[in-house]
Amino acid sequence: MAKLVFFSLGSRGDVQPPIALALSLKQQGYDCTIIASPCYGCFIESYGIKSAPAGVDAEKFIAEYDPTAPDALEKAINYYKVAAIDCCNLALQIEPDLVLFHKSAFIAPFFCQNYQIQCVEYCFAPWILTGCLPNLLTFEDNEVDWDDKETNFGQSFTNLHTAWSQNIGIVNITKDELNLDVTIPTIVDDLYKRKNKIPEIFAWSPSVLPFPDDLISDVYTSCGGYWFLEETDDWTPPLNLVEYIEGGVKPIYIGFGSWAQHMDNVVLFNMLVQVIRNTNQRFVVGCRKPEEFPQQHDSIFFIESCPHSWLFPKMKAVIVHAGAGSLSQGLKAGVPTFAIP
């Protein structure tokens, strides 16, 4: 039986889709292990997929991480380095036939090159060199023609290379810690992956974003849609949430993603109250530590965690931070979905 290992660094949104893929592959006879933060081990294993812990508790790190702190960069580098080294060492113990990795696992293709392990990259949004789509980090500019392929490709290259330049230092540190006998490219890593024909799977719906037609067909491919994971039956919604949803007109959901924990709760609360006054809408707000909000309001329900597959179909609309998981669940629910990065 072929052994497959997933490098799933990041928050829950980076872990959940690979579980869906691993379940499908397991049904076809593959032995799958997902390497992720230890806080997601029980979640992964609840679906009958093997897990292996890498790095520190991601949820705790995210909750405590302050991007404005003087040592923020040092903490982020150490967080990634520890997780990446753990991933590679665990993979060596498992001896996989194939490594599947998310784009955030920068070290993965170089680790696999060093040990001659086949690898496949997957991504949930078009973080790629292409002229067919605007790059994810490109902000709207009314003076730029985003339908122009040369413009898109130029912006794509610039943004990807800038991002790679910011990460190459930590990749080299991790490479040295692992004693990998490889050369880390100084230019955007997408060119390295193309040169070495590392396959990449697009895990998004072509109905939302068309498959770019300027990519190498034997390297890039599409799975034809998002990787949805059906929730297990052991989750029960809080009674007060059910009563709130059923107690009036359908609410609108607002979510800020895992990394938005350092918002000013007073400012956010006052902003929501003003929106309620102007629109007479009701809201469910996904946030960390809802108990820390200064006040309560009859038209606002703060919730820390809730399966989107259960919640979104009950909403009038959803407003999300543009994460692939929450965005795709909003579309699947068939409700108006607004993405605000």
Q: What is the pLDDT of residues 7-36, one digit of tens each?
A: 998 888 889 999 999 999 999 999 999 999
The per-residue pLDDT for 31 is: 97
Q: Give percent of the chain above pLDDT 90.
A: 39
pLDDT of residue 198: 87
The mean of the pLDDT values for the chain is 86
Q: Residue 140 is encoded by which pair of tokens?
A: 């709207």
CA–CA distance, 283 with 328 (Å, rounded to integer): 20
Are residues 281 and 275 in contact, defined by beta-carbon separation less than 8 angstroms? yes
Helix (H, G, I), strand (E, B) or coil at 108: helix
pLDDT of residue 143: 60
Mean pLDDT of 86-92: 96
State mean pLDDT over 282-301.
79
Q: Which tens digits make up the pLDDT trace of 137-195? A: 665 555 666 678 888 888 888 888 888 888 888 899 999 999 999 999 888 777 788 77
DSSP, collapsed to helix, strand or coil, labels residue 270 as helix
Question: What confidence score (pLDDT) does residue 119 get?
Answer: 95
Question: Which letter does DSSP use for residue 51 in this model?
Answer: E
Among positive and negative, which fits the CA dihedral 103, 107, 108, 110? positive
- Record the tokens describing residue 146, joined without a space: 């985003």
Predicted local confidence at residue 335, as pLDDT: 95
**What pTM was estimated for this model as a whole?**
0.88
Q: Under a CB-based contact definition with an 8 Å cutoff, are residues 3 and 97 in contact? A: yes
Beta strand spans in the chain (E): 3-7, 31-36, 50-53, 98-102, 118-123, 200-202, 220-222, 252-255, 283-286, 300-303, 317-320, 337-339
Nearest to 265 by CA among 236, 247, 290: 290
Cα–Cα distance for residue pair 102/109, rounded to 1 Å: 10
Pair 198, 121: CB distance under 8 Å? yes
CA distance 164 to 186: 8
Average pLDDT over residues 69-82: 87
